[in-house]
Amino acid sequence: MNDKIEELKEKVKNFSIENRETLEIFRTKFLSKKGELNEIFEAFKLIAGEEKKDVGKKINSLRTSIEDKYNEAKEKFSLLKKSVREEKDFSLPVNAYKIGSEHPISKVKNEILDIFETIGFKIAKGPEIEDDWHNFSALNFPENHPARDMQDTFFIKGNSEEKFALRTHTSSVQVRLMETDKPPIRALMPGRVYRNEAVSARSNFFFHQIEGLYIDENVSFSDLKQTLYYFVSQFFGEREIRFRPSYFPFTEPSAEMDIFLGIATEQDYKLTKGTGWLEILGCGMVDPNVLTNCGIDAEKYSGFAFGMGIDRITMLKYGIKDIRQMFENDLRFLEQFT
């Protein structure tokens, strides 16, 4: 028995605890239920008489020395852990602000504005609550004319003689610009517009437009075509475009422009209703009546205008299936556009 105690003493002495792993090995080897110290205790139970007292003392002192060695090492390694922690510099500034991301509509808007800015278009802005003159009358929509029904309008209740409404297009900004600036005018009007439409995956009661206006001497339809062709080649890549005759009260002639997507994928087939062509924008030569309404000499100047909805273009570009997702402010959606 005494030999066994001596043997274990030696073992413990020679065991070097170097890290947390060996500390744990030390514990299981010597101090756990199945450890070597317990083995000795088990044997000790069988000893009788005088010898028991003597051996008991020795075992107890062995136990204390094993526990001391264990506790000392344990302390050391937990201290070490603390000092590693202390090496970190907690005075460094924390990154307190989560950086947001640009909204997909803003991304597309900025991309389009950049393209037109390189060919000399500046940016013009105007109010979202408009009077009848700037949204309709100046743009050649006669009073009680069915053309006003083309755009379902949110009128604003009030006592005033003048009728106010949420603008239905940013053409109202074209009017404001022509009233204040002299030709040559070359500008883009980005902004939010409102129409009283049923909300669905494809349409909303508000959306975003970019309209463009170019007024100078001798501006012709071919200038319009080349400008838009340039835009398409920069934004969508080299693609075929086509113009279809259309009607807007403020342009004459008027057209709608399509780009060719093809029908190679199911998505393209659906988007283009099986034709391969996708409508992108409305455009035309500014009606001389509009120029006159805005105080520009229609004999001397001519111009073109165009307008596109950027929500649809954004959906097309990023494969967004439901227009409403863009306005729910769900971070899981928005964070995809960093």
Chain residues that interact with ligand PHE, rule: CB under 6 A: 169, 171, 211, 248, 251, 282-284, 305-307
Confirm if 297 and 291 have CB atoms less than 8 A apart: yes
Least Å distance between CB 104 and ligand PHE? 21
- Tell me the residue number closest to ligand PHE, measured at CB: 307
Instruction: Kindly tell me which of 171 and 227 has the beta carbon lying closer to ligand PHE.
Output: 171
Provide the residue count of the chain. Answer: 338
Q: How far is the CB of 155 from ligand PHE (least distance, A)?
A: 17
Shortest reach from residue 125's CB to ligand PHE, in Å = 16
> Which residue lies nearer to ligand PHE by CB, 12 or 249?
249
Q: Which two tokens stand for residue 79?
A: 């201290």
Smallest gap, in angstroms, from Cβ of residue 299 to ligand PHE? Answer: 21
**Tokens encoding 3:** 């030999």
Q: Which is nearer to ligand PHE, 55 or 124 (CB)?
A: 124
**DSSP secondary structure letter of residue 155:** E
Spatial CA neighbour of 214 closest among 242, 183, 245, 191: 183
Long-range contacts of 53-61 (CB under 8 A, 24+ apart): 55/1, 55/2, 55/5, 58/2, 58/5, 59/5
Q: Which long-range contacts (CB under 8 A, 24 or more apart) does 151-157 make?
A: 151/195, 152/195, 152/196, 152/197, 153/195, 153/196, 154/194, 154/195, 154/196, 154/205, 156/129
Q: What angle do CA 216, 217, 223 make, to 5 degrees?
A: 70
Note whether 251 and 287 are within 8 A (CB).
yes
The nearer residue to ligand PHE, 16 or 222, going by C-beta atoms, is 222
Q: Which of 5, 9, 10, 13 is nearest to 39 (CA)?
A: 5
Cβ at position 252, least distance to ligand PHE in Å: 10
Of 69 and 208, CB closest to ligand PHE: 208
3-state secondary structure of 152: coil
**Residue 255 Cβ, how far from ligand PHE at the closest point, in Å?**
8
Considering the complex, what minimum distance in angstroms separates the CB of residue 100 from ligand PHE? 30
Work out how close the CB of 248 gets to ligand PHE at its nearest, in angstroms, rounded to a whole number. 5
Nearer to ligand PHE, 40 or 228 (CB): 228
Return the number of the residue (228 or 305) whose C-beta is nearest ligand PHE. Answer: 305
Contact by Cβ (8 Å): 317, 298: no
User: Smallest distance from the beta carbon of 191 to ligand PHE, in angstroms?
Assistant: 11
> Do the Cβ atoms of 292 and 179 come closer than 8 Å?
no
| Cα 135 to Cα 173: distance, rounded to the nearest angstrom | 8
CA angle, residues 149, 153, 156, in degrees to nearest 5: 140
Q: Which is nearer to ligand PHE, 136 or 248 (CB)?
A: 248
Of 91 and 222, CB closest to ligand PHE: 222
Contact between 263 and 192 (Cβ < 8 Å): no
